[in-house]
Amino acid sequence: MKTITYNTYLEAVNDFKWSIPPHLNMAEQVCDRWADTDPNRVAIIEAFDPDHPQDIPYADLRAMADGLAWHLLDMGVQQGDRVGVLRSQSAWTAAAHIAIWKLGAISIPLFKLFGPDALATRLQDSDTRIVITDPQGHRGLENATWDCVVPETLNLGKRRFDTVQTQSQDPAVLIYTSGTTGAPKGALHAHRVLTGHLPGVEMSHNGLGHAGDCLWTPADWAWIGGLFDVLMPGLALGVPVVAARADKFSPSYCHDVLSKLPIKNVFFPPTALRMLKAHEFSAQGLRTVGSGGEPLGAEMLAWGRRALGVDINEFYGQTECNMVASSASFWFDPKPGCIGKAVPGFELAVLDQDGHPSLDEGDVAIRKGAASMMLGYWNKPEQTQAKFKGDWMLTGDRGIWDGDYLRFVGREDDVITSAGYRIGPSEIEDCILQHAAVATVGVVGKPDPLRTEIVKAYVVLKPDFLPNDDLRDDIINHVKQKLTLYSYPRELAFLDALPMTVTGKVIRKDLRARAIRETETTS
């Protein structure tokens, strides 16, 4: 299954060829194939308590997925139907996606941090009626209109379920991503998406699949970074994946996990790395550490060598087309400020304003046809079309070439990058506007040394309300309860008026400039 077998980066770029069969189903890639050929091989190590881990072999994972697939079939799930997966890290989370794919249906990863409004937005947009969850998630959905399936409570049979034959281009997974306008958009991916991720995942882990390799990330598996940068590639490559995620990341918990489990390969979001560095964390025995979501600087890379004993390999992508650029210390030295080189099989460009490749700063773009590229946004043909310019998919990021290294400059849009999450301001603004005291609001990212950015809200109150600390806390708590625990405003300021265009739109760039000035004033 390995796709990176070259001795040098140049060999890989020159010789790499995609091998995507016309018929492909990810359930076979990540489970059935291994269960047939090496059933006792460890697929997942469940370590909810790091002192008492439990090995889940591929045979057991398939039995779980098969039983759940039969149950979903009995509930009426058919090929093309959407089924939500509202779970954190566990073997049942993996089995849920596999079961859905076995039916030819489409899985929708959902964060446990989502509040009722955030869940409703995604489930209603995708016309989803069934959600696979856990007991905690079921309690949160008891009064909802969606049917809940809690696998742990079911008496599932042991019958083998024959995975349906799907095309590599058939839809398989719908991952919602936040944008700057409107509700979150669902990026629809085909069964080829996992194959498209493998070269970049292997590259960022210096040839993942060495003897003794074992993967872990503290990132949630509902995020594309957890699901397709760690869980599914590990299962496809036969590399054990550790399921261990605390409600809140901490260096002490990280130490427990790394010291008590056979982990050799880790994906750390940048915020986790900054927290570890701030606590003078160190670890031994790791073979590789990857990081993506935000660029790391020279100081962080140097710390990684000292404290973790490895070069941190940065990688780059987005929900619409992931793992397109990466560092790979076994092939070339990292260059601070750059996010690596193009992954073999992907063609990247920096486009000028006319859409032509340029050596100057411009729009980072990916050539159409990339294996991990989305089929399109769910039920949004106009927004899908706007994502492309000619033969290129626009990432919305600005960059410049430094030789054959891609240097990240910044985002073109207003999406806030906080702790590795991409957060759309529109959804937060809509939520804040539901508060009885709020007249208008603008949400932007404010620079932050730990999280890259924090969510900052600027609020204009209705005439009958006066600004005070209690009201500020009440508005923030309103967002916490309605949306997600990573997207609430960590700062909120009251203004008499917001900067507006003549058509009544908030001028976010003016608010961002204000937030930057605030940062400079307090630093």
Question: Where does a domain end: 408, 425, 445?
Answer: 408
| Average pLDDT rounded to a whole number, residues 197-224 | 95
Type of residue found at 70:
W
Buried b (16+ CB within 10 A) or exposed e, 216-225: bbbbbbbbbb
Does the CA dihedral 81-82-86-92 come out positive or negative?
positive
Residue pair 89/175 in contact (Cβ under 8 Å)? The answer is no
Domain co-membership, 402 together with 423:
no
Question: Which among 408, 437, 466 is the end of a domain?
Answer: 408
Q: 324 and 263 in one domain?
A: yes
- Kindly state the tokens that stand for 40: 């006792």
Is the domain of 61 the same as that of 82? yes
What average pLDDT score do residues 4-23 get?
Answer: 90
User: What pLDDT, in 10s, does the model give residues 382-441?
Assistant: 999 999 999 999 999 889 999 999 998 877 777 888 888 878 787 898 899 889 999 889
Give the amino acid at 9: Y
Q: Kindly state whether residue 148 falls inside one of the protein's structural domains.
A: no
Maximum C-alpha span of the chain: 70
345 vs 336: which has the higher pLDDT: 345
Q: Which long-range contacts (CB under 8 A, 24 or more apart) does 514-520 make?
A: 514/458, 515/444, 515/445, 515/446, 515/447, 515/456, 516/446, 516/447, 518/446, 519/446, 519/447
Rounded Cα distance, 426 and 178, in Å:
9
Q: Are residues 440 and 389 in the same domain?
A: no
Residue 159 lies in a domain: no
pLDDT digits (tens, 9 = 90+) for 35-44: 999 999 999 9
- 150 has pLDDT over 70: yes
For 183-213, give one letter per residue: b (16+ CB within 10 A) or e: bbbbbbbbbbbbbbbbbbbbbbbbbbbeeeb
Please, what is the angle between helix 251-260 and helix 270-278, to 10°?
A: 100
- Whether 118 and 483 have beta carbons less than 8 Å apart is answered as yes
**For the chain, what is the domain count?**
2
153: DSSP letter: G
* 129 within domain boundaries: yes
Within-domain flag for 112: yes
Q: Is 154 among the domain residues?
A: no
Q: Which of 471, 490, 418 is nearest to 449 (CA)?
A: 418
Mean pLDDT computed over 231-255: 94
HSE-up of residue 314 (Cα within 13 Å, Cβ side): 26
Q: Residue 172 pLDDT > 70, yes or no?
A: yes
Least confident of 39-53, 452-466, 498-512: 498-512
Q: How many other CB atoms are found less than 10 A from the CB of residue 248?
A: 7
205 and 323, same domain (yes or no): yes
Measured N-to-C along each axis, helices 270-278 and 298-307 cross at an angle, to the nearest 10 degrees, of 60
The residue to which tokens 């070069």 are assigned: 311
**Are residues 371 and 228 located together in one domain of the fold?**
yes
Q: Is 295 left (phi over 0), alpha (psi -120 to 50) or beta?
A: beta
Residues 447, 381, single domain; the answer is no
CATH number of the domain encompassing residue 507:
3.30.300.30
Q: In terms of residue numbers, what domain contains 241? A: 9-15+23-140+166-408
Count of CB atoms within 10 A of residue 464's CB? 7
The DSSP code for 231 is I
pLDDT at 272: 87
Are the C-beta atoms of residues 105 and 78 closer than 8 Å to each other? Answer: yes
Instruction: State the Cα–Cα distance between residues 499 and 240, nearest whole angstrom.
Output: 52
Give every CB contact of residue 76 below 8 A, 6+ residues apart in sequence: none
- What would the mean pLDDT of 189-194 be, rounded to a whole number? 98
291-320: per-residue pLDDT in tens? Answer: 987 778 788 899 999 999 999 999 999 999
Q: What pLDDT shows up at residue 252?
A: 94
d(CA 305, CA 301): 7
Give pLDDT, residue 181.
56
Mind listing the pLDDT tens digit for each residue in 81-133? 999 999 999 999 999 999 999 999 999 999 988 888 889 999 999 999 999 99
Residue 161 located in a structural domain: no
CATH code of residue 42: 3.40.50.12780
What is the helix (H) or strand (E) element at residue 293, kind and residue range?
none
| 396 plus 423 within the same structural domain | no
Do 50 and 126 have their domain in common?
yes
**pLDDT beyond 90 at 1:** no
Q: Is residue 450 part of a domain?
A: yes
Q: Determine the average pLDDT of the residues in 250-263.
A: 95
Q: What is the pLDDT of residues 265-295, one digit of tens each?
A: 999 988 888 889 988 899 999 999 999 877 7
Please compute the mean of the pLDDT values over residues 7-14 and round it to a whole number: 93
- Pairing label, strands 106-110, 54-57: unpaired
Quote the strand ranges of 310-361, DSSP E: 312-318, 321-326, 341-342, 348-351
Average pLDDT, the chain: 92
pLDDT greater than 80 at residue 3: no
Task: Report in angstroms the alpha-carbon separations of 148 from 84, 99, 123, 131, 134.
Answer: 9, 15, 12, 5, 9
Residues 357 and 404 in one domain: yes
Beta strand spans in 352-500 (E): 362-367, 376-377, 388-389, 392-402, 405-411, 416-418, 421-423, 438-448, 452-461, 491-494
Report the 10 Å Cβ neighbour count for 240: 23
Q: Are residues 387 and 461 in the same domain?
A: no
Q: Closest Cα to residue 492, out of 501, 481, 480?
A: 480
> pLDDT of 210-222, one tens digit each?
999 999 999 999 9
- Give the domain-ending residue among 375, 408, 441: 408
364 with 479, same domain: the answer is: no
Question: Does 244 map to a domain?
Answer: yes
Amino acid 229: pLDDT = 97
The model's pTM = 0.88
Are 377 and 187 contacting, i.e. CB atoms less than 8 angstroms apart? yes
Whole-number Å distance between alpha carbons of 197 and 335:
23
Mean pLDDT of 484-512: 86
